[in-house]
Amino acid sequence: MGFLCLRLKVQFEFGIYLPILVSKDIWNNQLFLSGYFGRDVFGTSFGFNWGNGTISSRWNHVFSEKLFMNATAFYSNYDYLLDSDIENKRPNDSFKWSSNIENLSIKPDFTYYVNPTNTVSFGGQILSYEFKPGKAIATSTGEKREFGQANKKGTESSAYISQELKISPVFSVQYGMRYSYYDYKSLNGEYYDRVKVPISTENASGYILKINKTDPTTTVASYGNWEPRLSLNLNVGQNASLKTSYNRLAQYVHLMSNTAASTPLDVWTSSTNNIKPQLADQVAMGFFKNLGPDGNNYETSVEVYYKAMQNQIDYADRANLFLNPYFEKDLLFGDGRAYGIEFFFKKSVGRFTGWVGYTWAKTERRFPDINEGNIYPAKYDRRHDLTLVGTYKLNDRWTFSASFIYATGNTLTLPSSWYVQEQNLLFNYGPRNSTRMAPYHRLDLSATLYSKAYKTKTDPATGKEIEVKKRYRSNWSFSIYNVYNRMNPFFLYVDNDGDFLSGNFKLSVKQVSLFPIIPSATWNFEF
* Contact between 50 and 42 (Cβ < 8 Å): no
Q: Using one digit for the tens of pLDDT, what is the confidence trace for 489-519? A: 887 877 777 776 666 777 788 888 878 899 9
How many Å apart are CA 398 and CA 330, to the nearest integer?
56
Residues present in the chain in total: 527
CB 365 within 8 A of CB 379: no
Q: How far apart are CA 51 and CA 17, in angstroms?
A: 14
> How high is the pLDDT of residue 9?
34
Q: Please list the pLDDT of the chain residue by residue as tens digits (527 residues).
A: 333 333 333 333 334 444 444 444 556 788 888 888 877 766 555 566 778 888 889 999 999 999 999 999 999 998 887 776 544 555 667 777 788 899 999 999 999 999 999 999 999 999 999 988 877 787 777 677 777 777 889 999 999 999 999 999 999 999 999 999 999 998 888 888 998 888 776 777 788 888 888 888 889 999 999 999 999 999 998 889 999 999 999 999 998 875 444 445 667 889 999 999 999 999 999 999 999 887 779 999 999 999 999 999 998 877 777 677 888 888 999 999 999 999 999 999 999 999 999 999 999 999 998 988 999 999 889 999 999 999 999 998 999 999 999 999 999 888 877 777 777 777 777 888 988 999 999 999 999 999 887 777 777 778 787 777 777 778 899 999 999 999 998 878 777 777 766 667 777 888 888 788 999 998 887 76
Cα atoms found within 13 Å of the Cα of residue 161, Cβ hemisphere only: 2
* Model pTM score: 0.83
- pLDDT per residue over 302-330, tens digit each? 999 999 999 999 988 777 776 778 888 88
Q: How many CB atoms lie within 10 A of CB 396?
A: 10
